[in-house]
Amino acid sequence: MLSHRPLGLLASFLLLHAALLVGLQRQIPVPARLAAYPAQLLGILRPDVLVQTLPLALLSGTYLLGGLALAWVLAALLGRVARPALWVLEGLPPFLLLVAGVGAGLAVTVPRGWDFPLTAWSPVMLALIVTALALPTAARAALATQHATGEALSADHSRVARAMGLPERAVQRRAARVALPERAAGLAGDALGLALSLSVIEGLLQFPGVGNEVYVALQGTFAGADGQPFGAQSLSASLAALLGLALLFAGIGRALAARLDPRPRAGASGAEADA
């Protein structure tokens, strides 16, 4: 199975990249879009394109990695929060949370004559963007963890452990460990959605990043803009970087979920049996 995972990620990347890039170029006839796609895909590796795209990908990757890492921590802290509160939190758009955070910051700094750092690499904006991305994701992960923990506590092995005199606290700790793969898998499943949310945030704030490049292209497409030349190669590289980051973090999350799963793996048990 492991040998097929890289091929599956590559296939997902190519499918999403082709569908989005070809779909965004509405100003060009469909046959011309399809004919130009291979060159636009291979053009990602051109040195001039890499020099332009890699710094933007670094910034967007920092936001995504920070959001997922913080979501992992927050999911543990939100584990005891009531489910209705988590339902509300998971439904909040990240940009709305960011606007609330910026508004609160301005309310504190402006009356005192302080400058609020609305710049991409400022620690304040990094923290606000990462937190806005993390909170709804953490709420979803906490809900999945609560469900998995409840199932583990009601499972046969937990009932047997209680019957054998194992303290309830030890049973709960074991159930929490069993639920960790669900948290990792939930964050992995949210990686692509986080990348799209980041595109909206970068685009509306006009912050540099591969998400901003994709957002500008989407905005022009839905507005029917056709008066300016379409930067297809730049969009191809930015879209590839954004999707690549999302799929990379999703793959890491799935690998972490498999690593944390306490159940014996089929391959490992088979190898032990052969030995």
DSSP codes joined into one string, 105-167? HHHHHGGGTPPP--STT-HHHHHHHHHHHHHHHHHHHHHHHHHHHHHHHTSHHHHHHHHTT--
Which of 163-172, 215-224, 240-249 has the lowest average pLDDT?
A: 215-224
Helix (H) or strand (E) holding 67: helix 47-77
Domain boundaries, the chain: 51-261
pLDDT band at 210 (very low <50, low <70, confident <90, very high): very high
Q: Is the pLDDT of residue 235 over 90?
A: no
Answer CATH for 51-261 from 1.10.510.10, 3.40.367.20, 3.40.50.300, 1.10.3720.10: 1.10.3720.10
DSSP collapsed to 3 states, 82-107: CHHHHHHHHCCCHHHHHHHHHHHHHH
Mean pLDDT of 68-91: 91
User: pLDDT of 172-183, one tens digit each?
Assistant: 778 778 888 889
pLDDT at 270 (0 to 100): 47
pLDDT band at 269 (very low <50, low <70, confident <90, very high): very low
Is the whole model's pTM more than 0.85, yes or no?
no
Q: Is the pLDDT of residue 156 over 80?
A: no
pLDDT at 220 (0 to 100): 62
User: pLDDT of 182-209, one tens digit each?
Assistant: 899 999 999 999 999 999 999 888 888 8
Mean pLDDT of 23-48: 85
pLDDT at 62 (0 to 100): 92
Amino acid at 200: V
pLDDT at 20 (0 to 100): 85
Calpha distance 206→102 (Å, rounded): 15
Q: What is the mean pLDDT of the chain?
A: 83
